[in-house]
Amino acid sequence: MKLWDKGKDINKAIEEFTIGRDRELDMLLAPYDVLGSIAHISMLQKVGLLEEEELKQLHAELVNIYREIAEGNFKIDEGIEDVHSQVEQLLTNRLGDVGKKIHSARSRNDQVLLDIKLFSRAKVKELTESVQILFNKLIGLSEKNKDILIPGYTHLQVAMPSSFGLWFGAYAESLTDDLQVLLAAFKLINQNPLGSAAGYGSSFPIDRQETTDLLGFDRMNFNVVYAQMGRGKVERNVAFALGNVASTLSRMAYDLCLFMSQNFGFISLPDEFTTGSSIMPHKKNPDVFELIRAKSNKVQSLANELTIISNNLPSGYFRDMQVIKESYLESFNYLIDCVDIMAFVSDKIKVNNDILSKDIYKYLFSVEEVNKEVLKGVPFREAYKSVGLKIERGDFDPEKSIDHTHQGSIGNLCNEDIRHKFNQIYSQFNFDAIAESEKKLLQI
């Protein structure tokens, strides 16, 4: 069954090429297609395009299909082109001609737009919840290890004193800013395209505000042409936001790989979290961090891929968007898995609490010594030269203590401020209101 079928056969090779992986990927969209259809028929009844009894029949059967999807009992049959066709076919088989009325005043174009937005909304919720778990663990680790000093580096050269408190807290705050970018992308997602039809609206007297409210969107995409132009643009911006989270994970994973090496020796993992070598019996490899780094870098490439596919298209719908869907839909679980495994491993990290006793970190405190002289009234440039000469002569013997108390420093991590910042952003997603809207749609 094809929604556009006019009774003429299409070449089999062309059909297989144009359908691609749609049937497989549409299984990810199935529950959202049903939710969108429930909102759509409710609106159709409100504007007089469905009878009340027809609405009851369609609604009850759509809820049944939604449950079948949730229970794993839904599939797209052989010969059925996509999830939209499958749902309509099931309704027609079970309800007769009433099932054929579901497509009035919409197109597959705005159906797909809607399905992808509802899917994205749900996946952003999953990702945000995973990020919250990792954030809380990092803030906890920052507090737990705030007094353990480590060297900071510039140009991979020993630079100035840092701490595990600062290091863990840095990645927690990085996730906070990543969440801010994700919120901006979420605001683009959370606009209703339904009613734009094929991209130029409908001649039926539809009520787009009704479906906007029923589906828990913040607002609608007002201009119907722009609603269709948003296909690709929304995915690209979401991919950029996913890439921000992935960038934080990748950088953290790289640090951890360095910190685990014998040359650094800052941290270790339990044996069951490492892998070995086929010929070197001493090896304990940080494969988990290496794979997080690689997979996160792959996620970062998605925004560029989607940009290249979509940036030279004129207004209106084009089948190029099918290729975007193939890359986009699967990227969420890919990233969520990385966030989840980083959270799982992070609190198994054992930190070395005696790192700075090694001679190679002797000069780490040179800036501290310069600043102590400045506080005694010595001009900075003179203090800098004095300490430099001591280092050259080999008689630099600093006091290895830190007393920084300004905001965000070793002695004042501002973790509660960072936590407040994170929670303030998180609350703006308003997931509870969306969940309540979807719950009402499924009530019989």
Residue 350 in 3-state DSSP?
Answer: strand
Q: What is the 8-class DSSP label of residue 400?
A: -
Burial of 242 (0-12, 13-18, 19+ CB in 10 A): buried
- At residue 4, the pLDDT reads 44
Nearest to 50 by CA among 110, 97, 3: 97
Query: By the 8 A CB rule, do 196 and 208 touch?
Result: no
Tell me the whole-structure pTM to 2 decimals: 0.91
Token pair of 207 as six digits: 């009520």
- At residue 371, the pLDDT reads 87
Q: What is the 8-class DSSP label of residue 289?
A: H
Strands 157-163 and 191-192: unpaired
Q: In angstroms, what CA-CA distances link 8 with 2, 4, 5, 51, 416? A: 11, 10, 7, 33, 66
Fold of 116-149+165-194+222-356+414-430: Fumarase C; Chain A, domain 2 (1.20.200)
Query: By the 8 A CB rule, do 326 and 237 touch?
Result: no
Query: By the 8 A CB rule, do 290 and 248 touch?
Result: no
Query: By the 8 A CB rule, do 62 and 145 touch?
Result: no
| Residue 211 CB neighbour total at 10 angstroms | 26
The span from the CA of 291 to the CA of 226, in Å, is 39
The span from the CA of 211 to the CA of 140, in Å, is 43
Q: In angstroms, what CA-CA distances link 160 with 155, 367, 402? A: 12, 7, 11
Q: To which CATH superfamily is domain 12-103 assigned? A: Fumarase/aspartase (N-terminal domain) (1.10.275.10)
Nearest to 213 by CA among 45, 40, 33, 62: 40
Token pair of 167 as six digits: 């290091």
Q: What is the 8-class DSSP label of residue 401?
A: -
Token pair of 269 as six digits: 């993992």
- At residue 17, the pLDDT reads 61
Token pair of 355 as six digits: 């790192």
**Tokens 């070793």 label which residue?**
410
The span from the CA of 345 to the CA of 249, in Å, is 12
How far the first Cα of the chain sits from its last, in Å, is 29
DSSP secondary structure string, 50-84? S-HHHHHHHHHHHHHHHHHHHTT-----TT--SHH
Tens-level pLDDT at each residue, the chain (444 residues):
455 455 666 666 666 666 667 777 889 999 999 999 999 999 999 999 999 999 999 999 999 999 999 999 999 998 888 899 999 999 999 999 999 999 999 999 999 999 999 999 999 999 999 999 999 999 999 999 999 999 999 999 988 899 999 999 999 999 999 999 999 999 999 999 999 999 999 999 999 999 999 999 999 999 999 999 988 899 999 999 999 999 999 999 999 999 999 999 999 998 888 777 668 777 788 899 999 999 999 999 999 999 998 888 888 777 777 888 888 999 999 999 999 999 999 989 999 999 998 888 888 888 888 888 898 999 999 989 988 898 889 888 887 778 788 888 888 899 999 999 999 999 999 999 999 999 999 997
The span from the CA of 378 to the CA of 383, in Å, is 6
- At residue 16, the pLDDT reads 64
Query: By the 8 A CB rule, do 285 and 360 touch?
Result: no
Query: Can you list the alpha helix ranges (DSSP code H) found in 394-414?
Result: none
For the chain, the structural domain boundaries read: 12-103, 116-149+165-194+222-356+414-430, 359-393
Q: In angstroms, what CA-CA distances link 250 with 119, 140, 273, 348, 418? A: 25, 20, 18, 18, 21
The span from the CA of 434 to the CA of 429, in Å, is 9
